[in-house]
Chains A and B, each alone.
Chain A
């Protein structure tokens, strides 16, 4: 077939590049929504770690060695500070 005139060829070229960009855009949008969900979950976990402390009026529970993962608690509060708890969770090796 002879080469198409540039205005007609331009439509095909534009369509091909738009398909590529759309694919990447959709993928990034899906990843963005997943990251937003993770952020929401982090917020919920922060609430979860803050609730017992405020609810008990700051009364701390004694440390227990039988907690999950067998880690000794390092702070006075039962669960440790939210930042400590999250940091501990993040240190653990991944299990996909």
Chain B
């Protein structure tokens, strides 16, 4: 079910990732202000955008689960949030590396963009203990969906609040003026964004396929064991 179209997406991911790396290091010009350090932008920002979109997508899938009662939507939501947390970890680490190189500090507590992203990240870290502390599968799915919706709604609100806050150190990348990126940099950034999105979708499909196969195997094992018991009972009655 989930493996449908997996191969073309995986191939496109590999091609776009290779193209993105090529553009970053051989096509995009050096930034006049930041120099070579600015190359971190091409991995850090797409990762942040895809992670935040993944959180929102997890919330939308959770809405679908609560509306339809189909637990496969809960599984989709869980995997989207799980992957977004992995990308979020990458955003925090690459951001800290960039901050150290650019500002001379690993972290700035008075910068709204950094702190707001950390709050979103920590909020979603609560999702795991919440989910796995509930044993009943139906309740687990329902409660997780409610959390995913509430936290998913928090992400755009948080984004807007940060936009309204005063800019201190961290630049606003997606500004109303279009980020003022020159053509080559913008093209490279867009290719990186597409590559990151494709990577997210590929890994999402891969994990869903693996989880589905695992669940089907579990069910098959149960069925076979039941059958073996029935057979043993028939033989014993003869």
Contacts and interface: CB of A to CB of B under 8 A. Distances in A.
Interface stretch (B33-41, B117-125, B180-188): B33-41
A56 B137 CA distance: 39
A96 B141 contact: yes
Contact of A69 (B90, B213, B223): B223
Contacts of A4: 35-37, 101
B212 A94 contact: yes
Interface in B33-84: 33-37, 39-40, 43-44, 47, 71-72, 74-75
Contact of B36 (A9, A20, A69, A96): A9
B217 A12 contact: no
B214 A34 contact: yes
B199 A86 contact: no
Nearest to B103: A1
A45 interface: yes
Interface string A63-96: 0101111000000001100000110011010111
Contacts, number: 130
A6 B31 CA distance: 12
Given A12-B97, A96-B141, A96-B215, A20 B224 contact: no
Q: B interface, how many residues as a size bin?
A: 35 or more
A42 interface: yes
A6 B36 contact: yes
What's the dominant secondary structure at chain B's contact region? helix
A48 B216 contact: no
A96 to B, nearest CB: 4
Tell me if A's interface is mostly helix, strand, loop or mixed. helix
Given A89-B216, A95-B215, A52 B101 contact: no
A67 B40 contact: no
A23 B84 CA distance: 12
Contacts of A1: 102-104
B40 A85 contact: no
30 contacts: A1-B103, A3-B31, A3-B37, A6-B35, A6-B36, A9-B37, A12-B98, A12-B101, A13-B36, A13-B37, A16-B94, A20-B94, A31-B206, A31-B210, A38-B210, A38-B213, A48-B228, A52-B231, A61-B231, A64-B234, A67-B227, A67-B230, A85-B223, A89-B219, A90-B216, A92-B216, A95-B71, A95-B215, A96-B72, A96-B211
